[in-house]
Amino acid sequence: MSSFLQSIPMIIVTVLAFGLLIVIHELGHYFAARWSGMRVERFSIGFGPVVWSRRRGDTEWAVSAIPLGGYVKILGMAPGEEIPPGETGAYSTKPAWKRFLVILAGPAMNYLLAVVLAVGLIATLGLREPDPSATVGDVIPGGAAARAGLRAGDRILSAGGAPVADWKALVQAIRAHPGQELELSVARGDGPGAPAVSLTIHPDDSGGIGKAGIAPSLRAVHAGLLESVSMGFRRTADKAGEILGGLGQIVTRKQKAELQGPLGIAQEMTRSARAGAAPFLMMVWLISIMLAIFNFLPLPALDGGRLIFLVYEMVTRRPVNPRAEAVIHTVGFVLLFGLLIGVTLFGDLPRLLRR
């Protein structure tokens, strides 16, 4: 009970941070809609019944009962919504390119936030990135590395008798030995005179690919303010490329999908919050990039799906049937919600209960 009470501040910080990421996303839609001359009827922080609201101009600013995320209600965006005669501020009355910018602005704001976080971290606390050397960072409890006795800080000198030059070489050696013995020579401690020990690891077999349950050690990247701006853009683009590459490997079945739902993400954020400001902001940076990419995916109910319909309209100069589009987005939302529930029930909860 006492450990749970001690975790409450971290849980609150996690909820606020995740909520902020969604609010930033919705602010992108809001500002783009206002710039496009659209009438924004409500900007809500949270979902469900409104518990507090204040009207400024045409917009009702509200706080709702469920403090996760938020939404922007733009006049004329809902299918079949009646538009008052002579109303020029409705979403449906604006040209397709303006509607495209409004939808695009949400995930674009998440990506921009990630860049800002990267710049801030590089200029202050340091942006942590994987060390290219074959030095172990985190060791997942119960994984093959933990069972073999590997520890954080261990430097792998050789695997299977072959010298290991860097982390990439170590990963290749582990992936090539699923379910097989692999002898490791490990330097334990700092300096060239650190004692070497021999360990035998049996990488877990994950679809014919060896998995050890380790992560590389991290190093902090620092720079001056001007240099941190260009580095922030580059590091964010590099991380986005890594994530997209991972998605591509999952689609082509070269890598097994390891999905996390809201509980899993919250758990990772809470753990990083306990580790300090830099790890926590790194996690927020990563999730902001992932939110941008996820919303750009061309799937129904996501911003990317809506953008596909708008591109079709701009190319053919013919709008998609609003009712047909609404049905497609509704079906997509139901499927995505079902996937979310499935990942939570059969992924997040079992992992949480095993800890």
Query: Catalytic amino acids?
Result: 26
Residue 260 main-chain phi, psi, to 5 deg = -130, 140
Q: How far, in Å, CA of 103 to CA of 98, rounded?
A: 9
Q: Is the dihedral of CA 306, 309, 311, 313 positive or negative?
A: negative
Question: Which residue type, as a one-letter code, is found at position 96?
Answer: A
DSSP 127-191: EEEE-SSSBEEEE-TTSHHHHHT--TT-EEEEETTEE--SHHHHHHHHHT-TTS-EEEEEE-SSS
Q: CB of 26 within 8 A of CB of 72?
A: yes
Neighbour-count burial for 178-196, b at 16+ CB within 10 Å, e otherwise: beeebebbbbeeeeeeeee
Contacts of 49 (CB under 8 A, 6+ apart): 64, 65
- Block residue for tokens 């119960």: 142
Across the chain, where does the E strand assignment appear?
40-56, 59-74, 127-130, 136-139, 155-159, 162-163, 182-187, 196-201, 204-205, 210-211, 214-216, 218-221
Amino acid at 41: E
Task: Round to whole Å and give the CA distance between 24 and 295.
Answer: 13
In this structure, the number of other CB atoms found within 10 A of the CB of residue 35 comes to 12
Helix/strand/coil for 50 = strand
For residue 112 the two structure tokens come to 């921009």
